[in-house]
Structure 1
Amino acid sequence: MNVAKMIDHSLLRPELTIEDIRRGCDIAVRRDVASVCVRPSDVEFAAAALAGTGVLVGTVAGFPHGDTRTAVKVAEARALVEAGADEIDMVVHIGRLRGGDSDYVHDDIAAVVAAAQGRTVKAILENAYLSEEQTVMGCRLAERAGAHFVKTSTGFAPGGDATPAGIRLMRASVGPHLGVKAAGGVRTLDRLLSLHQAGANRFGATATEAILDAVAARQRGDAPAPTSGVTG
């Protein structure tokens, strides 16, 4: 498997400068990852920086709490598409999901999917706040609403690190055509591989270079081999 092409290089921290975003895009191109995931205000810059490279421009909507009105998420998604976004990671309304308001959660996701105009939409459930039953319901609602991925976390919730058990639950809760993205705590190659074995096929990471350096070290025989073959 090509590890690089499963990584969304995350550039979402609020303190990042535009120079930080530039460097992050340079890393993404040099390491040929799947995408960068930038803040909404950085989409236009990233789209210009990544044009013609094969690295996608990802961003977020309703981030990080998911509690903005659906109309705001829709307006945000439309503006992000216009600015050049290829993928949108949207946060579901966590409180409505916890409260069992399935119609609201479904319609909120579906509205963003429609506004994304065919771009990939990943529904962030924020598993740290959910019971197993709520996670399953969130996954099923996201699939029914037309999302392309379900995602574990924004990476900002306390205790929001992705776990193999959480990934297995999400993978079992959606059909094989839906992707599962692990985010939060994906800082090492071993961690990424354990989550991949559990069923994740996309990863949000800030430690992209360290992970891919570890892939290269294993290919050279400088580090213990993983249980399955990997490529950069």
Structure 2
Amino acid sequence: MQPQDIAKYIDHTALAADKTPQDILNLCQQAIAHQFCSVCINSAYIPLAKQALAQSAVRICTVVGFPLGASLSQVKAFEAQQAIAQGADEIDMVINVGWVKSQQWQDVEQDIATVLSACQGKTLKVILETCLLTKEEIIKVCEICKTLKVAFVKTSTGFSTGGATVEDVTLMKRIVGDEIGVKASGGIRDTATAIAMLNAGATRLGVSAGVAIVKGINTQENGY
């Protein structure tokens, strides 16, 4: 796989708190130029991105319950509804990690189902925050997501103690199979790492170093 072949898998991401409108416009211009799958942004910037991407095929992805996942399910659902109304094509939600750790599986499933219903057919990606979970917990959440038929399971927010690993992506892919996608995110900053994630079974990549990755340039960029 050549670096430029990775572009179609990339959610070109800018979620840090200090991103400005100009940063988002630059992100959109880069996404158009390199034909990335989407831009992943905070919901306040959806109207701006919608205007900037109006003549392109680049999708708009946003996050809900981000980055902790501990919001009320109804609040996450409202976030999703409002984001979609403003023009979001895809929703990345964070699960309630505390419920997972305490094995409140019915609550975990209901939380995801509530947001899935609010998406009304739009793509929903469920962020597990794998760095905080055991192998058994990752398996259980993936099984729930497979049952609910969400569009993707996703490794990480990029704002916790760690990001995507080949081991976690491989495990998630093994559980969900080809029925739903796997998004690897957090800490993917070079071409070799991106290819390793795709080879492990990822079908989408959440990265802020998208331009460097498709150009084959190593970067030490921090964050998502």
The two structures share one fold, judged by TM-score above 0.5: yes
1:222 is matched with which residue?
Answer: none
Whose Rg is larger?
A: 1
Matched residue type, 1:187: R
Structure 1 residues without counterparts, runs of 5 or longer: 216-232
Secondary structure in structure 2 of the residue aligned to 1:3: helix
CA-CA distance at 1:146 after TM superposition:
2.7
TM-score, normalised relative to structure 2: 0.93
Secondary structure in structure 2 of the residue aligned to 1:37: strand
Structure 2 Cα separation of the partners of residues 9 and 101 of structure 1: 33
Equivalent residues of 1:34, 1:55 under 8 A apart: yes
2:192 is matched with which residue?
Answer: 190
The equivalent position to 1:201 in structure 2, one of 193, 200, 203, is 203
CA-CA distance at 1:142 after TM superposition:
1.5
Number of residue pairs the alignment of both structures matches: 214
CA-CA distance at 1:99 after TM superposition:
1.0
Matched residue type, 1:107: Q
Secondary structure in structure 2 of the residue aligned to 1:58: strand
2:78 is the counterpart of 1:80: no
Structure 1 Cα separation of the partners of residues 115 and 152 of structure 2: 13
What is the root-mean-square deviation in Å for CA atoms of aligned residues? 1.1
Structure 1 Cα separation of the partners of residues 56 and 99 of structure 2: 39
Structure 2 Cα separation of the partners of residues 179 and 26 of structure 1: 26
Structure 2 residues without counterparts, runs of 5 or longer: 218-224
Structure 2 Cα separation of the partners of residues 44 and 91 of structure 1: 22
Runs of 4+ in 1 over 2 A off after TM superposition: none
Matched residue type, 2:134: S
2:29 is matched with which residue?
Answer: 26
Secondary structure in structure 2 of the residue aligned to 1:76: helix
2:133 is matched with which residue?
Answer: 130
Identity of aligned residues (%): 40
CA-CA distance at 1:145 after TM superposition:
2.2
CA-CA distance at 1:35 after TM superposition:
0.2
The equivalent position to 1:168 in structure 2, one of 167, 170, 173, is 170
CA-CA distance at 1:17 after TM superposition:
0.6
CA-CA distance at 1:143 after TM superposition:
1.8
Structure 2 Cα separation of the partners of residues 61 and 205 of structure 1: 17
Equivalent residues of 2:149, 2:180 under 8 A apart: no
Structure 2 Cα separation of the partners of residues 190 and 166 of structure 1: 17
Structure 2 Cα separation of the partners of residues 184 and 205 of structure 1: 7
TM-score, normalised relative to structure 1: 0.90
1:214 is matched with which residue?
Answer: 216
CA-CA distance at 1:102 after TM superposition:
0.9
1:35 is matched with which residue?
Answer: 38
